[in-house]
Chains A and B, each alone.
Chain A
Amino acid sequence: SAVISQKPSRDICQRGTSLTIQCQVDSQVTMMFWYRQQPGQSLTLIATANQGSEATYESGFVIDKFPISRPNLTFSTLTVSNMSPEDSSIYLCSVLDRGNTEAFFGQGTRLTVV
């Protein structure tokens, strides 16, 4: 298994500002994943973050809005930029176990934009 520490756990932000979410894993992993869960909805993959290269974004998500850093094999950040109320969601980071089979998730960041 993998232990993932994600912070902040929640935040209330003003529109037009940015928030950076941090994700720390207790072991080295090749890929880290960032998801968004809008209210009452399922999880949607934002991007895959590889160490040493630019993140790969899914359709509908762009780097200018969701810049991602991956400075080493145990850490990643997701920034939600120029926020609007529509960005109010739970954001989760995820990794796969050593066998690249089972996915584990951080505690999530509940973001409210006012």
Chain B
Amino acid sequence: GIQVEQSPPDLILQEGANSTLRCNFSDSVNNLQWFHQNPWGQLINLFYIPSGTKQNGRLSATTVATERYSLLYISSSQTTDSGVYFCAVRAGKIIFGKGTRLHILP
């Protein structure tokens, strides 16, 4: 089956810093999503991005489907950005990566 790998697994940054999270997938996929899981466990939809680039405020994402990767950019990090960021692809069923745990220090 399709493998989804996220990097880095953990990231600790000072408030105000920028970060780039990566998602590699092993085969062609129908679509790709980025989620943020907050400390209460809720999954928040960030981007549905099977290809191309999207931006939403301080967050943006780029997916290069032909090269099988996606990037999530977070600029000017805030403490509320802390949590786990998941990439998920759909090839039949949805497959999640293991996530990047982001901790923003005040």
| Partner-B contacts on A (CB < 8 A) | 1, 33, 37, 41-43, 45, 48, 58, 90, 92, 94, 101-105, 107-108, 110
Which of A42, A45, A48, A94 lies in contact with B98, CB distance below 8 A? A42
With contacts defined as CB atoms under 8 Å apart, how many contacts are there between chain A and chain B in the complex?
A: 44
Q: Chain A interface mostly helix, strand, loop or mixed?
A: strand
Name A6's closest neighbour in chain B (CB-CB).
Answer: B42
Residues of chain A with a CB closer than 8 A to B42's CB: 105, 107-108
- Are B33 and A92 in touch, CB under 8 angstroms? no
Q: Kindly specify which of B19-27, B58-66, B74-82, B89-97 makes contact with the partner chain.
A: B89-97
Complexed CA–CA distance, A43 and B85 (Å):
12
Residues of chain B touching chain A, judged by Cβ–Cβ distance below 8 Å, are 30-31, 33, 35, 40-43, 45, 48, 86, 88, 90, 93-94, 96-99
Given A101-B31, A101-B48, A102-B48, A42:B86 Cβ within 8 A: yes
B99 contacts across to A, CB distance below 8 A: 42
